């Protein structure tokens, strides 16, 4: 009886162990590969997976994006300059069966492939191009690795060059060249500044001369216009005065003083000339009084001269 209970306990323990070995858990970011008698039979998604050990086994493959570093290596550029280059590769498994059964060590295979192609890509570029073409190197290397790793069930997401370091002597030469270039640019900018200042100064002087000339021109024009306006007003006044005298004469009632004044002005102007005869086309009947007054005024200076 005791032996029966002991055998039952052993069987129960063995059954529990078998169940624990038969039930496996696949996590969310993993894929399972189930092998039956050593041959791939099916894939298992995340969750509980039932196996039949020891006839079946389970391999887990991480499906997350992963990163690997390409160790630094010496690369010769097209112009025979030696540079140290390293890179970082980001990849993701797309087919867990291929990555397990088509390549023995994917990480080592990808690193060696990256180093080889990195030497080829950099070797086709000159030193200056290598230092300024990181994006071009990244894109070319990613395309090459992606094509090569496709049969391994892996997609290369991106490749990033971490550093490109030339030898120290070349670095020193580049530093001197950069310094000289910056000094050249500074001198050019300074010269351009002096040039612009001289141009602005000359333009300012030119504008000042033009403005002064315009001001003088406007001043002359205004003076001429003022003189013309004054002459016009004087002429208008003389014309008006003459018209008044003419109207007074022809109306038949000129005053003695008005006629005397006008004749005196006329005689004074005429006496200043070289003429010895004076013609007076006046009406004797209407202007007798005026002529008499004018004669008296003209005779007065001559009498004073005789007395003296």
Residue 284: the pLDDT is 40
The pLDDT of 274-285, averaged and rounded, is 49
The pLDDT of 103-119, averaged and rounded, is 90
Would you place residue 99 in the very low, low, confident or very high pLDDT band (cuts 50, 70, 90)?
A: very high
Q: In terms of pTM, does the model score above 0.85?
A: no
At residue 77, φ and ψ (nearest 5 deg) are: -80, 175
Q: Find where tokens 């120290």 sit.
A: 168
> Average pLDDT of the chain?
79
Residue 271: the pLDDT is 55
Residue 156: the pLDDT is 92
Residue 64: the pLDDT is 92
Higher-confidence position of 22 and 302: 22
Would you place residue 164 in the very low, low, confident or very high pLDDT band (cuts 50, 70, 90)?
A: confident
């Amino acid at each position: 009886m005791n032996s029966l209970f002991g055998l039952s306990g052993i069987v129960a323990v063995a059954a529990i162990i078998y169940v624990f070995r038969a039930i496996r858990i696949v996590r969310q970011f993993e894929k399972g590969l189930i092998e039956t008698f050593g041959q791939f039979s099916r894939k298992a998604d995340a969750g509980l997976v039932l196996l039949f050990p020891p006839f079946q086994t389970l391999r887990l493959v991480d499906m997350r994006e992963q990163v690997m570093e390409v160790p630094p290596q010496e690369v010769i550029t097209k112009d025979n300059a030696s540079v140290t280059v390293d890179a970082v590769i980001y990849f993701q498994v797309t087919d867990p069966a291929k990555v397990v059964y088509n390549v023995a060590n994917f990480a080592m295979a990808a690193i060696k492939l990256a180093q080889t192609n990195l030497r080829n890509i950099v070797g086709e570029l000159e030193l200056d191009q290598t230092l300024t073409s990181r994006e071009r190197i990244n894109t070319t290397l990613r395309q090459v690795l992606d094509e090569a790793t496709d049969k391994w069930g892996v997609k290369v997401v991106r490749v990033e060059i971490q550093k490109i370091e030339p030898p120290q002597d070349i670095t020193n030469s580049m530093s001197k060249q950069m310094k000289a270039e910056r000094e050249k640019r500074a001198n050019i900018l300074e010269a351009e500044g002096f040039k612009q200042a001289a141009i602005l100064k000359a333009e300012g002087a030119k504008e000042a001369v033009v403005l002064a000339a315009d001001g003088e021109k406007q001043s002359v024009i205004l003076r001429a216009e003022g003189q013309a306006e004054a002459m016009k007003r004087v002429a208008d006044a003389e014309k008006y005065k003459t018209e008044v005298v003419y109207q007074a004469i022809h109306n038949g009632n000129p005053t003695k003083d008005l006629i005397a004044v006008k004749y005196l002005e006329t005689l004074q102007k005429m006496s200043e000339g070289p003429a010895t005869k004076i013609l007076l086309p006046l009406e004797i009947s209407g202007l007798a009084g005026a002529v008499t007054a004018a004669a008296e005024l003209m005779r007065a200076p001559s009498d004073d001269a005789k007395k003296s």
